[in-house]
Amino acid sequence: MEDFAKRLTPEEALKLASAAEHKTRGKLKIFIGYAPGVGKSYSMLNEGNRRFQRGEEIVLGYVEIHGRQDTEKQIGNLEVIPRKKIHYSGKILEEMDAEAIIKRHPTTVLVDEIAHTNVPGSKNKKRYEDVKEILAAGINVITTLNVQHLESLNDIIKQITGVTVRETIPDGFVEKADEVVAVDITVDALLNRLKRGDVYKKEKIPDALRNFFREGNLNALREITLRQTAQEVDEELEEYMKSHGIRESWQTTERIMVCISPSANAKRLIRRGALIARRYRCEWFVVAVESNVVYAEKWSPKDKEDLENNFTLAKQLGAATVILSGRSISDELAKFAKEKNISQIVIGHSEKSPFQSIFTGSTTSRLLSETKNIAIHVIPTGGELANDDHWMKMLFGSDLTVSDFWKTLLMILAVSGLNYFLVPFLGYQAVGFIFLLAVLVLSMFVSFIYIVLFAILSSLIWNFFFIQPIGTFVIHNPADLIMSIFYVITAIVTGYLTSKIRRDEKLLALREARTDTMHRITSIIASAKDRHTCSLEIEREISVILPGKCKVIVKSEKVGFENILRQTITSDEKELSVAMWSYEKGGVAGWSTETLSFAGAMYLPLKGPSENIGVLLYRPEHYRKLSPDENIFLIASANQLAIYLEREILRERSIEAEELKKSETLYRTILDSVSHEVKTPVTSILGIASALEDENIINDKNKKVDLLQELSDSADRLNRIVSNLLDMSRLASDVLALRKDWQDIGEVINLCVQHLGSKLSKHNVQIEIEEGLPLTMLDFALFESALSNIIINAATYTPEGTKLNISASREMEQLIIRVADAGPGVNEEELPLIFDKFYRTKDAPAGGTGLGLAIAKAVIEAHGGKIEAFNRNEGGLEIKITLPIGQQPDMTEIKND
């Protein structure tokens, strides 16, 4: 039973991520050797036997004996799955039977020579594809491989051995292997084996010695193999460190930057970068620059896909990946290199035609000149880097600017035509200016290439049609020649400048938008009413600049942060663990970062000055690495927000503390007051009870009657205090369930007075109820309590014999109840205070808790009404209760008989 409450550590999350893929996948173990005969098959079989003896269910899927006896002996007792017979060209050939293996479904199967190409007619072309199926079925596989079968090493091996190996395996397959073991023997030992005839038959030996088995060959191959194996080990270490979010302090100050383009050939550069980075055990970056210059070629979707693949490889190898965009590729690279203190650059050697190089030089050479202190590795690649200078290509067939082409053409024709008509009036020199004007206009609409085109064409037209001698490209007048040349120059420069302005404006607009939003975020925070609306507004602002989903998640005092995450974002354990990591460690994590980048979103910690507040989630609409600008924007926003949120949270906390203090004070006051109040009647009761034991008193009838009356009164008083306390607690509890029912206010008042009975005996009580008052929804018990308290108050604080007026009337949509006495009234300053809890006026007689009016107020207000106190003109205090008259109940059943 899964414990859902347990949180994943990032290692576990990573394991989960890959486990999800490898859930039922079998384990792959590869024995790699550098040449035939080193003992790969032997080792494989040996291991198979050992495991078999240990009790593992292991079978032999395929082994190529090559007639080597030692190898054959190693088969031992292993069960052999019979080979599949395939008919091809009249022959019967044998291949490994993958279906039979899968059907047999052992724990592990031994498969020799994984790079083997299957006989045509087999289901899969290559044996490694069969092995893939076997692994997918959940069966472990142990296999063998020669180092020259690795795709990425193919060319090196070709160079060394002169042999092109055709049966290759994609690197990815090997990289996914769970275990790679290098089967290694010294070159001398191998040569001895060969000479002994243990590798090939006697006849083949001389040939082998001459070709493949040359000592130099073998040594080189051995080194490559060992290095390859070492690389795998290193990669695992990198993975481990990365998944722990550990960034070891770099041991050297080296920093590598690999510059790539979307082309697939970039992989070579990446690998080289990985190699170098490994050697120095340092940080390294893989950078691609998208040129946004006016005439440059933009990346197509295929390009972007290739780039993603390259980046995936780069990340796997431990690089940080970055997309930059800028006007000049070399400029951006140089800038990045300087910012990040790059010490070594790996760049591809572009294969440009000399023609192109004459005009513009290459990115590489420009980079070289811009980065004087950095070592640059120029790696020959098949493909080229995107260059700043693609304009040659642009002229001959580009998909983007076809409409621009037509616009230009149109413009040329139109203006030429115009000039033709104007020449008689203006003269042939003016033509240049008119064309120039046209350039200005055109540059607003088309890309720079076409400006150049226009400039040249218009110059030629001018020359041919308008400059003497007309009809030729010859220019007689030297002044005219100069004019013509300068026209072209001016046109091109003008066009360039105008396009630059256009482009710069766009860039500026973008920057402004970002600054604007930063500004807006600051002002949202400054004017925020509460942190909830503030968070929402900021989420919205951020999504304007960075399309995608943005969410602010703040911790709470009551619920664990993880549960909040679970409720608000997702229950995906991987995502949760990344978010938690960001929150706890206070670092940026997730997609587009260097930590736990497999996550689906980016998590920025909201870290206030003194505590962690929460996490800001950003999930982009399209997954593209954020530019440094955008990163800074997000981080700055998060920081601002965090500061604000912390302030608010602290403020809320201090308010709560205040409230707590207040209620504690109240609690203490109640205890004090109650204990005093209760003690009084209790003392009285006890005293009387004891007195009644006295013979003298029992026999004295008057005394007895007096005491018994006193006993009754005290008990009554005690009862009243208890009632009040019960009312108070009902009112104080959050769940005040008023039990309302339709009541006739007149009835209520009469009953109330009736119940008070003897307590009002010393006063002259007058009740005036207006005729035809509507019914009101009241909680009878509480309301009676409130009214009683008010009336008793009036009786207690006014002299005996005075009048007590209780009236009920209607004023528009309100019901007014007044309790008026003819006593001394209350001081003006104390008037508003009498409804406070435990308030007793300065000259109050003993025996009240001061709760009565407070209860009354709470009850009336709970009914949606109002209570006020006035000093009457004719002397005395009036308490006025205002109650809203609600909608009357359905009266249709009332029979009017």
Partner 1 sequence: MTKGAKILVIDDEPSIRKLLNISLSTEGYTVELAKSGKDGLLELNNFRPDVIILDLGLPDISGIEVLNKIRERTETPIIILTVRDSEQDKVLLLNSGADDYLTKPFSPAELSARIKVALRHSLNLKEEPVYINGPLKIDFSTRLVEISGKPLKLTNTEFDLLKILVQHAGKIVTQKQLLKEVWGPESINQSHYLRIYFSQLRSKLEKFSLSKLIITEPGVGYRLLLL
Min dist CB 799 to partner 1, Å, is 29
Q: Site for partner 1 (CB under 8 A): which residue of 79, 747, 770, 861?
A: 747
Instruction: Tell me the C-alpha distance between 132 and 102, whole Å.
Output: 11
Min dist CB 636 to partner 1, Å, is 59
- Whose Cβ is closer to partner 1: residue 224's or residue 721's? 721
Q: Site for partner 1 (CB under 8 A): which residue of 54, 529, 622, 895?
A: 895
- Whose Cβ is closer to partner 1: residue 17's or residue 715's? 715
Instruction: Tell me the C-alpha distance between 891 and 462, whole Å.
Output: 100
- Whose Cβ is closer to partner 1: residue 46's or residue 743's? 743
- Whose Cβ is closer to partner 1: residue 358's or residue 737's? 737
Enumerate residues 502-521 that contact partner 1 by CB under 8 A.
none
Instruction: Tell me the C-alpha distance between 113 and 63, whole Å.
Output: 8
Min dist CB 792 to partner 1, Å, is 17
- Whose Cβ is closer to partner 1: residue 320's or residue 781's? 781
Q: Site for partner 1 (CB under 8 A): which residue of 21, 339, 813, 897?
A: 897
CB 815 within 8 A of CB 776: yes
Min dist CB 743 to partner 1, Å, is 7
Min dist CB 683 to partner 1, Å, is 19
Q: Site for partner 1 (CB under 8 A): which residue of 537, 572, 744, 830?
A: 744
CB 273 within 8 A of CB 315: no
- The H or E element spanning position 768 is strand 764-769
Which range of residues in 44-52, 119-127, 345-353, 886-894 is near partner 1 by CB under 8 A?
A: 886-894
Instruction: Tell me the C-alpha distance between 400 and 504, whole Å.
Output: 20
Min dist CB 535 to partner 1, Å, is 44
Residue 120 per-residue DSSP state = B
Enumerate residues 754-783 that contact partner 1 by CB under 8 A.
775, 780-781
Core vs surface per residue 376-401: b (16+ CB within 10 A) or e = bbbbebebbbbbbbbbeebeeebeeb
Torsion sign (Cα): 116, 119, 125, 131: negative
Q: Site for partner 1 (CB under 8 A): which residue of 170, 469, 586, 889?
A: 889
Enumerate residues 682-741 that contact partner 1 by CB under 8 A.
715, 719, 723, 726, 730, 739, 741
Q: Site for partner 1 (CB under 8 A): which residue of 95, 297, 677, 784?
A: 784
Give residue for tokens 């009337």. 809
Instruction: Tell me the C-alpha distance between 57 and 107, whole Å.
Output: 5
Burial (CB < 10 A; 0-12, 13-18, 19+), residue 871, is: middle
Min dist CB 889 to partner 1, Å, is 4
Q: Site for partner 1 (CB under 8 A): which residue of 570, 743, 802, 871?
A: 743
CB 269 within 8 A of CB 349: no
Min dist CB 579 to partner 1, Å, is 49
- Whose Cβ is closer to partner 1: residue 611's or residue 741's? 741
Min dist CB 703 to partner 1, Å, is 22
Cα 871 to chain centroid, rounded: 65
377 CB contacts (<8 Å, ≥6 apart)? 272, 276, 344, 345, 346, 347
Which range of residues in 52-60, 78-86, 849-857, 887-895 is near partner 1 by CB under 8 A?
A: 887-895
Which range of residues in 75-83, 258-266, 324-332, 883-891 is near partner 1 by CB under 8 A?
A: 883-891
Min dist CB 744 to partner 1, Å, is 5
Biggest CA–CA distance in the chain, Å, is 156
- Whose Cβ is closer to partner 1: residue 76's or residue 746's? 746
Asked if 12 is part of the footprint of partner 1 (rule: CB under 8 A), the reply reads no
Q: Site for partner 1 (CB under 8 A): which residue of 751, 760, 844, 885?
A: 751
Instruction: Tell me the C-alpha distance between 205 and 195, whole Å.
Output: 7
Q: What SS3 state is found at 548?
A: strand
Min dist CB 754 to partner 1, Å, is 8
- Whose Cβ is closer to partner 1: residue 349's or residue 740's? 740
Give residue for tokens 């490559």. 224
Enumerate residues 302-361 that contact partner 1 by CB under 8 A.
none
- Whose Cβ is closer to partner 1: residue 316's or residue 723's? 723
What are the tokens at 786? 């409130």
- Whose Cβ is closer to partner 1: residue 771's or residue 874's? 771
Which range of residues in 46-54, 484-492, 699-707, 885-893 is near partner 1 by CB under 8 A?
A: 885-893
- Whose Cβ is closer to partner 1: residue 461's or residue 749's? 749
Strands 776-779 and 740-743: antiparallel
Query: Up-side HSE of residue 538: CA atoms within 13 Å toward CB?
Result: 34
Q: At what angle do helices 852-862 and 701-732 cross, to 10 degrees?
A: 40
Min dist CB 751 to partner 1, Å, is 6
Instruction: Tell me the C-alpha distance between 232 and 379, whole Å.
Output: 23
Cα 389 to chain centroid, rounded: 38
- Whose Cβ is closer to partner 1: residue 20's or residue 737's? 737
206: amino acid identity, one letter = P
Q: Which region holds residue 757: left if phi is over 0, alpha if psi is between -120 and 50, else beta?
A: left
- Whose Cβ is closer to partner 1: residue 604's or residue 769's? 769
- Whose Cβ is closer to partner 1: residue 418's or residue 751's? 751
Min dist CB 892 to partner 1, Å, is 10
Q: Count the residues of the shown chain that bind partner 1, applying the rule CB under 8 A.
A: 25
- Whose Cβ is closer to partner 1: residue 552's or residue 749's? 749
Instruction: Tell me the C-alpha distance between 282 and 300, whole Å.
Output: 33
287: amino acid identity, one letter = V
Mind giving me the DSSP string for 264-307?
Answer: TTHHHHHHHHHHHHHHHT-EEEEEEEEE-STTPPPPPHHHHHHH
Distances (CA, A) of 725 to 375, 426, 675, 730, 850: 86, 107, 12, 9, 12
What are the tokens at 235? 């990669």
- Whose Cβ is closer to partner 1: residue 353's or residue 896's? 896
Distances (CA, A) of 468 to 245, 428, 458, 484, 595: 76, 9, 16, 12, 71
Residue 134 per-residue DSSP state = H
Min dist CB 740 to partner 1, Å, is 11
Alpha helices per DSSP H over 374-464: 391-395, 402-426, 428-442, 448-461
Q: Site for partner 1 (CB under 8 A): which residue of 544, 742, 761, 884?
A: 742
What are the tokens at 516? 């604007």
Which range of residues in 290-298, 551-559, 574-582, 744-752 is near partner 1 by CB under 8 A?
A: 744-752
Min dist CB 573 to partner 1, Å, is 48
Q: What SS3 state is found at 883?
A: strand
Min dist CB 603 to partner 1, Å, is 53
- Whose Cβ is closer to partner 1: residue 241's or residue 726's? 726
Binding site for partner 1 (CB under 8 A): 715, 719, 723, 726, 730, 739, 741-744, 746-748, 751, 775, 780-781, 784, 889-891, 893-895, 897
